[in-house]
Chains A and B, each alone.
Chain A
């Protein structure tokens, strides 16, 4: 109940940051659980991870839209954004995007050493997931605690 009251005080972009963070955590966590379960007693070259990965991506996108609509109906419905929202959004995106680069670099190295496609695809996917999770977490911290910029 307290958390719902807290949700009522957020701007649209803060709600969006929370939504992306939670949905990404849940969907990627679910993906890891399913894949690790299939890997037990098997090999990465044998398991059929592609449908699971694609379903997880689809659920993540659909989940973000649905949760975004629901949280948008709670509390402040204003869609106004200001300079603070834009600063926080840009800073969070910059922090998150570092993980896309790290994931791509990981995939690059794995490809050079002719690693199985499983590891290459999962390196990139982990990079995407961390981009969303860490970038959104940085935004939430900036909204709640401030301190990302000074005079």
Chain B
């Protein structure tokens, strides 16, 4: 088992800032399951670089505004 990722994200805040977008709506726009969006939000799953860019594009922000590294 590898160590948990240090990467954090602001997806939950961004969803609420974008018309209180639901996890299901975000999942549909990304083409993933709602469970995957939940896992990414909670830091249990690190998405592929492509999905990370897609998330940033959905919210129309840069990648660093979605994901942060200490």
Contacts and interface: CB of A to CB of B under 8 A. Distances in A.
Instruction: Determine chain B's interface SS by DSSP, over half rule.
Output: loop
Contact of A84 (B2, B3, B33): B33
Interface in A63-92: 76, 78, 80-85
A150 B5 contact: yes
Contact-size category for B = 20 to 34
Interface stretch (A9-17, A24-32, A42-50, A111-119): A9-17
Determine chain A's interface SS by DSSP, over half rule. Answer: loop
Contacts of A85: 33, 36
A51 B17 CA distance: 63
B42 to A, nearest CB: 8
Q: How big is the A interface, by class?
A: 20 to 34
A135 to B, nearest CB: 16
B4 interface: yes
Contacts of A83: 32, 36, 47-48, 51
A98 to B, nearest CB: 16
A104 B49 CA distance: 39
A148 to B, nearest CB: 7
A147 interface: yes
A84 B4 contact: no
Given A83-B48, A84-B45, A11 B33 contact: yes
B47 to A, nearest CB: 8
B35 A10 contact: yes
A151 B5 contact: yes
A84 B43 CA distance: 13
Contacts of A81: 33
Contact of B4 (A10, A78, A82, A147): A147
10 contacts: A76-B34, A83-B32, A83-B47, A84-B47, A147-B4, A147-B44, A148-B1, A148-B2, A149-B2, A149-B45
Interface of A: 9-11, 14, 76, 78, 80-85, 143, 145-151
